[in-house]
Amino acid sequence: MNTMNEQGEREHRARKRFGQHFLHDPAVVQRIALAVAPLPGEPLVEIGPGTGVLTSVLLDAVPRLHAVEIDRDLARRLQQRFAGRGLSVHLADALRFDFAALAEGPGTLRVVGNLPYNISTPLLFHLLGMRESIRDMHFMLQREVVTRLAAPPGGRDYGRLSVMVQLHCEVEPLFRVGPGAFRPPPRVESTVVRLRPHGVLALETRELPVLAAIVTRAFGQRRKTLRNALRGSCTDQDMEAAGVDPSARPETLPVSAYVALARAVVARAGDGADCG
């Protein structure tokens, strides 16, 4: 983005254990910033700011920005580079960080980041656990992951990740990014995606773990029929109550059908219902 940042990239060798690939393409950075369109006063947090290329552009738009960075050397450099510009650097593991603490009320926090591909799925689930505090999320992810996030029922890309994320969020793929936009270039293409948590969740809190267990078991044996994949935990009566065909395969069911099945199991077995 500028001489100082390019020098910082040359001095800091990407660390494989952190899955570091530093975004450097100014055109991609601007497209991400335009997609986020941050406004002054909005609580905004960047995950994995790296050398600060996107950080710099975001700080041009907002007076305050939080950044969560696990790499101690990069965190120190970010603090030095953006001293006096309203950047708060949190030296922390994003998988354990309490993002909800940065929100300024329900549905206010905006999250952006070029997520390390090796932790992207668990990090998404970690953030979904705080969905009530989040307004939206803009992430750079491996293209195949975004394909799975947005996949409709019926294809091989539709699976556990599709159901669980679509249950919580509207998924909107925005644009693809080639390997050359990063240093070092990854071996895969990337996609920027927007996730917007639904205003009202389709399930009650007590029903969520039941649905999660059903989905995990169903897609763990996706070649089997639902009757066989869920044998011993969900009955034909549960499926009938949910309007689900026991002979159907897991990838054919929309999210709403899994919601109905979880409700049926809870209604039958009460608080002790468990499809795990």
User: How many helices and strands, by DSSP H and E, does the chain display?
Assistant: 11, 9
Q: Please give the pLDDT value at position 270.
A: 64
Q: Please give the pLDDT value at position 14.
A: 47
Burial of residue 44 (CB within 10 Å: 0-12, 13-18, 19+) is buried
Round to whole Å and give the CA distance between 50 and 242: 47
Q: Please give the pLDDT value at position 132.
A: 95
Q: Please give the pLDDT value at position 48.
A: 92
* Whole-model pTM over 0.85: yes
Q: Regarding the domain with residue range 3-197, which homologous superfamily does it belong to in the CATH classification?
A: Vaccinia Virus protein VP39 (3.40.50.150)
Q: Please give the pLDDT value at position 87.
A: 97
Residues of the chain with CATH 1.10.8.100: 205-272
Q: Residue for token digits 């556990």?
A: 160
What phi, psi does 94 have (nearest 5°)? Answer: -60, -25
Residues of the chain with CATH 3.40.50.150: 3-197
Amino acid at position 173, single letter = P
Q: Please give the pLDDT value at position 4.
A: 35
The model's pLDDT over 187-218, given as tens digits with 9 standing for 90+, comes to: 889 999 999 999 888 888 889 999 999 999 99
Q: Regarding the domain with residue range 205-272, which homologous superfamily does it belong to in the CATH classification?
A: rRNA adenine dimethylase, C-terminal domain (1.10.8.100)
Round to whole Å and give the CA distance between 245 and 260: 12
Which residue numbers in the chain have pLDDT < 70? 1-20, 270-276
Amino acid at position 27, single letter = A
Round to whole Å and give the CA distance between 121 and 203: 22
